[in-house]
Structure 1
């Protein structure tokens, strides 16, 4: 009862539990049903394929039998001993004897023949080998006449016709095969030979197939054109006229729908669900049927379905237990929250008897807390507003007003101790601003303010506020007799703040610390000083923590620009393409810039960038061959880079690009000329007359000059280079194995075979023939 009462009071737990249970039940049931459906469909597909294979084999057997009988009938019909029996009007006795003897010989030579009959149209008489035809007072004769000779419909020739010669119960004991001189349907107006085939011989393959298919509980039938069903099993079930008509209707309907001579479907016969597979015999006379009991065939599927349902039931019980445990585990955090909330709820709700569920109770409590937080947030907005006003316009407030506002809004600023202002500025703020969304920036700024205030607040009365999104300001209160000790302690705490924020948010901060102030009216000046100090990270690098003592030399430096001699020497070095000299002048310039005040630093770097840009523009305008330098980007370096080191490296990289394009004009001309020579050789290497003299004439220079120039640059003569190109092409042609060596010499510009062989062996180490043989083997 306690357990029931526990769950009864947990309305949300009940919903979770029942939802999980319902989901598991649906999944298990759906899985079981779908598996059974897929299994049943697979069994049907496999059974259809198997049945069609069986029927294909039977079709082949029947076609083979019909072929054997057709050959025999062709031989029998042309037998000269039997011809008199068929066509003579007045049959001599000796012809009759010879005819009977020949029929006896044929019967003895063919084990599948039951009997044979010769029909003489002129005499309207039957001559046969069967003793019953001779001794039963004409009963057999009359039966043959009524079925084959006097039937309402002409009988087909060269086809097996099921009939009974000796049975009166409708059973089949033989198959008639009528042979005439034409392929037209047989009537009693033409002579014929009738072969009677033993039914056992025809049904032999059916019996074997039935034995093989006993496991499927099926029966194989032959259906004639008039719908009659014949089987090798005398006890076959579908032998009455009503069933035969039903089978014929089903098969014909399915043939019309599928427009195919073979098929598979499920139908109802004699009140039972049956699986029917059919196939034409290939001769156009019969249809082979394979009929199986659907329930027996699907017995394993039904058994599997029942087992699946039983297993689903077992798993369902397990799922119910699992859902209870899982629901309670999911509910556990809610229960823990309720334990914390209940003491703050009204008395009537603490016992859990409320009509509301747990989430509704927590929602109500959340709304109350939210209202309180809004009140607190409003107060914080007002507090942050006054802190920002103190930092920007402290001189507008009287000391009395500031004390009153601090006490009224409970600001964590001491009204009697000395104050210190720290600015923490985000490094690489441009990249940070571009990569973050507005919501992310608010979240990060909130985190930085809280982390800074928490760490610093452990040691000093502290207020923190974010300004302009790129920096956070801390106002510290502390009475310390030794300022140096105070600065040292604050630096350690700021370093801890930097490491914490970088570890969690990968954000780097640079810090400036103002001088100690003793009056509230100096807060604006202290903030301006700290912000200004933080800018000197341009010299000290990122994550710098700076006080006025750290940049005392910069503040006292009165130099506001670089000496003109540096600009002049830098310009000359760039125009001459002397990167080393340009780098030295650039290094001198930045060593002087590092000692200036912040504004003078930015101005000096910008001026230096303009000097380099002007020099690059002048060089660019006076050169024939242009060089790739982004001149528009140069003057942006001072604004985009944060440290002097980055500015120096960017400007040095630009100087390197400028100097790289400042090679002498004659060097450019020589390189262009030598490239032209190499292109000529590549184009005309197949020309036997190609030489240093012909090339010199093409480029309008003396042979000695062009030869000397080529030798100095490539450490080989023009003739040697021509041979290198020719021999490289010769190697490639030898590897293709499409040309003779003489043809290759012509294509590569050689007329003398011994000269070609000597050069080739000197380059490769083997003759052309050996080279080709080695390449073909490898």
Structure 2
């Protein structure tokens, strides 16, 4: 009951739970119904295709049987022993005997023949082979005449005609096949040969197809033109006259609708649903039917449907359980919010039961809180406004006015004690500004202000305000606890603020602390001083906390620019490509710059950039092939880099690029000459006379000079390099196994075999023959 009461009291939870539950139920039921429908449709389609294949085979069998009988009938009709029986008016006894004997021979040669009768129109007499025709006192004769020789009902020729020749109960026991000399329907005015085909021969084909197809759930029928159903099973259903009429009606209706000789439909026969597949026999006489019980055929489908419904029911139970669990999980944040809100509510506790749902309750309280927050926010906006005015224009306020505003807006500023201003400036501000969105910046500034106030207020009164987005200003004053402002205590607290902000938000802060002031009117001056001190982070580095004592040397410096000698030596070093000297001069320059005042530092770094750029331009003007160094960035270094160390490294990197590209012209010429020497050796190594002297003559230089230059650059003599090239080609030729060693020596420029062997073994460690053998084995 407690659980039920819990859910009953949670109106929004009820809506969520019932919505999820209804959705799951609808999806599961729809899925189950759709799957069952698709399965039933698939089974019907498969069954239809299968049935039509079977009927196609039966149709082929009937056509083949008809073809066999037609060939036999043509042969029999032309038999000269049987012609007298058909056409003679006065039949001699010997012709009668020969005719009966020939009919007996034909009967013996054809196993599917039941009997054979010849009708002579002149005599109006039937001659047959069966004993019943001869001995039953004319009963069979009369039955044949009444069924086949009725002038009111002419019979088709060359077609199987179902008959009850020996049965009195109307069952089909034979098929008559009439052969005449005319294509017109047969009457007693035409002589004819009548072949009676055993019914088993026809029906056995149907029965075998049914058994071969494993179709014990249905029966195959032959439907005649008058709608009569013929079956191999004497006790087959649907043979009653009303059933035959119904089947005939359904088949004709479906043929008319589909305009096709074969088809498939489901209809009611004898009060039950039956699946009927039909196909014409191809001769225009019969229709082959395959009738199956719909319930038996769909037994597996129904079983599958029942299993699906059972599984759906199980899944529904599981879905209900999941719906409850999922709903409560989704509702859990709302429940947690309500737990936090309710202890702070008063009137809501009594009226909560009358609220339509929890969200409305939260919405009402949100509106009330919003009104309260707007009041608080308005007061905070006004307070922040006056704090900013104090910092920017404190000299415009009298002490009386400032005290009045401080008391009126309840600012945490002492009205009788000393004051101190701290500036917390965000390091790497350009990267921070580009990577953080506006909403996130507000959040970070809010966090910095709150954390700073929480830490500072442990010892001092503190008001904080964000200015220009890149720094936060703190106004510190003594509290009523009798404390005094101490730089040492303030630095410890600022260090704690830096560490906490960096730990939680990965934001680095540099701090500037003003001197202690005793009057409100000096607040603007103190703020300007603290902001200026924070700029000396350029010397002290990131996360520095700077007071006037820390930069006393800078504040007292009178030097405003670098000595000309440093700039001159830097220019000379760059022009000579001497990176070490250029780096030394840069280091001297920045050592001096670090003692300047802030504005002079920026100006001096900018001037250094101009010196480097001008030196690079002069170097390029005097070169045949100018080098490419991007110097446009040099003017932005003093604005984009925040510390002297970063500026120094950026300028040193530019100097390195200039020196790397500023090599002496004779060095370029020497490299070109040495490359030419190496190309000559690669081209002429087969020449036995190739030597250092011949190469020197080719390049128009002395042998000693070219040899010394080659040795200095490649740590080997020209002769050693020639042998390296020759032996390398010799190794390649030995691996090919196409040349003798003498031919290889000749191709590689060696005339002395022992000299070649000694050099080769010194390089490879084996003789040429051993080398070739090892390579061939491997």
Specify the TM-score bucket, using the shorter chain as the normaliser.
0.7 to 0.9
**Structure 1 residue 642, shift from structure 2 partner:** 1.2
| Residues 645 and 115 of structure 1: CA distance in aligned 2, closer, same or farther (over 3 Å) | farther
- 1:233 corresponding residue in structure 2: 233
- 2:335 corresponding residue in structure 1: 332
RMSD of the alignment, in Å? 5.1
- 1:507 corresponding residue in structure 2: 507
C-alpha offsets along residues 312-358 of structure 1, whole Å, 9 cap, x if unaligned? Answer: 5676667667766766672633652563254244xxx7164536544
Worse-matched range after superposition: 653-662 or 480-489: 480-489
Q: In the TM superposition, what are the counterparts of 1:108-507 in structure 2 within 5 Å?
A: 110=111, 112-116=112-116, 128-135=128-135, 137=138, 138-139=141-142, 141-142=144-145, 145-146=148-149, 152=154, 154-155=156-157, 162-167=162-167, 171-175=171-175, 194=195, 196-197=197-198, 198-208=201-211, 212-214=214-216, 217-223=217-223, 228-239=228-239, 240-253=243-256, 255-256=258-259, 264-269=264-269, 272-278=272-278, 288-302=288-302, 305=305, 330=331, 332-333=335-336, 335-337=338-340, 339-345=342-348, 350=350, 352=352, 354=354, 357-478=357-478, 486-507=486-507
Provide the C-alpha distance between the structure 2 equivalents of 1:125 and 1:508, rounded to a whole number of angstroms.
Answer: 129
C-alpha offsets along residues 445-483 of structure 1, whole Å, 9 cap, x if unaligned? Answer: 122211211222222111100001110001111389999
Q: Contact (CA 8 Å) 1:681, 1:722: kept in 2 or not? A: no
Provide the C-alpha distance between the structure 2 equivalents of 1:194 and 1:673, rounded to a whole number of angstroms.
Answer: 117
- 1:48 corresponding residue in structure 2: 45
| Residues 679 and 756 of structure 1: CA distance in aligned 2, closer, same or farther (over 3 Å) | closer
| Residues 272 and 675 of structure 1: CA distance in aligned 2, closer, same or farther (over 3 Å) | farther
**Structure 1 residue 27, shift from structure 2 partner:** 2.3
- 1:533 corresponding residue in structure 2: 533
Residue 332 of structure 1 aligns to a residue whose secondary structure is helix
- Any stretches of 5+ residues in structure 1 without a counterpart? 735-740, 746-751
Instruction: Work out which of the two has the higher radius of gyration on C-alpha atoms and give 1 or 2.
Output: 2
Alignment of 1:85 onto 2:82: yes
Provide the C-alpha distance between the structure 1 equivalents of 2:78 and 2:772, rounded to a whole number of angstroms.
Answer: 85
Worse-matched range after superposition: 288-297 or 30-39: 288-297
| Residues 559 and 69 of structure 1: CA distance in aligned 2, closer, same or farther (over 3 Å) | same
Q: Contact (CA 8 Å) 1:85, 1:99: kept in 2 or not? A: yes
Q: Contact (CA 8 Å) 2:510, 2:537: kept in 1 or not? A: yes
Provide the C-alpha distance between the structure 2 equivalents of 1:482 and 1:612, rounded to a whole number of angstroms.
Answer: 58
**Structure 1 residue 124, shift from structure 2 partner:** 8.3
Question: Normalising by structure 2, what TM-score?
Answer: 0.78
**Structure 1 residue 209, shift from structure 2 partner:** 5.3
- 2:657 corresponding residue in structure 1: 657
Question: Normalising by structure 1, what TM-score?
Answer: 0.78
| Residues 483 and 351 of structure 1: CA distance in aligned 2, closer, same or farther (over 3 Å) | closer
**Structure 1 residue 115, shift from structure 2 partner:** 4.1
**Structure 1 residue 273, shift from structure 2 partner:** 3.7
**Structure 1 residue 401, shift from structure 2 partner:** 1.8
Provide the C-alpha distance between the structure 2 equivalents of 1:54 and 1:758, rounded to a whole number of angstroms.
Answer: 91
- Any stretches of 5+ residues in structure 2 without a counterpart? 751-756
| Residues 421 and 79 of structure 1: CA distance in aligned 2, closer, same or farther (over 3 Å) | same
Residue 660 of structure 1 aligns to a residue whose secondary structure is helix
- 1:20 corresponding residue in structure 2: 17
- 1:644 corresponding residue in structure 2: 644
Provide the C-alpha distance between the structure 2 equivalents of 1:250 and 1:222, rounded to a whole number of angstroms.
Answer: 18
- 2:56 corresponding residue in structure 1: 59
**Structure 1 residue 381, shift from structure 2 partner:** 0.8
Q: Contact (CA 8 Å) 2:641, 2:647: kept in 1 or not? A: yes
| Residues 60 and 187 of structure 1: CA distance in aligned 2, closer, same or farther (over 3 Å) | same
| Number of residue equivalences | 736
| Residues 477 and 65 of structure 1: CA distance in aligned 2, closer, same or farther (over 3 Å) | same
Provide the C-alpha distance between the structure 1 equivalents of 2:222 and 2:622, rounded to a whole number of angstroms.
Answer: 105
**Structure 1 residue 2, shift from structure 2 partner:** 8.9
- 2:754 corresponding residue in structure 1: none
